Structure 1
Amino acid sequence: MEKTIPKGGSETILFVDDESYIADVGKEMLEDFGYRVDIMTSSRQALEFFRADPLRYDLVITDYSMPEIPGDRLIGEIQRIRPGILAIMCSGTNMTPEITDKVSLARVLIKPFDMEDLLGTVRDVLDHGTP
């Protein structure tokens, strides 16, 4: 069955992944559909960037396996700064409840994901918030 590409948006997203290629491709895909995207390859830098302007973002997307601060801890810190911020965590493996229950996640996105998966998940989360 052929996938359909979801509509884009104009929201601002913080995209965090220690693999610069993934961050760059994610940014390009999202910006091509109208989103404003800041990318960070350091979770520590992403936290400081968010802390400096917590109202800037509508959504945070982060990889789980980050070298400095794991994705679940990064989201937890961000949600302490701004409760209710929407968050998507990406992972190459299925996430266990011990990990996902630590923070309020709108969704977990399993890698590798394609453009339709990313855009559809982002739009659904922005439109409907946490499940």
Structure 2
Amino acid sequence: MASKCRKFVPNMFNKSKCQACFGSKEAHSAAALESNKASRKVSKCGYLFVSPDFDFSNPLDRTRRWQRRFFRLFDDGELTYSVDEAPDTVPQGSVDMNKCTDILDAEKITTHPNSIAVVTPEKTSYFKADSKEEIQW
């Protein structure tokens, strides 16, 4: 059932719920969600590396190249990454950090220093940085 809200505004305590109607983000129309995207703010941004989808237990997959991408963490909890930092570049991927169940040190899994695993019910994504300071988001 779609919400009658014209604009989805994240609740300050639960960002997946609307401040106005307390309906879920998914219950709002595409127009209401687009209206929110236009007004949201970037909380943190910078370059990190994302791993292509592969099995780290396979030694051949471990040698594949990580891709350098520009990441943006928005105040509504969406983490997006794209090939460059231009604001109009279409993101290549995103993670809804409101659905994140765990963030793990992934160095033992990936064999890359400064790597983390972001776990959501849908997927586990692997990211890394050149230094410990850069990965501290």
Normalising by structure 2, report the TM-score. Answer: 0.25
Normalising by structure 1, report the TM-score. Answer: 0.25
RCO comparison, higher one (Cα < 8 Å, 6+): 1
Structure with the higher fraction of residues in strand conformation: 2
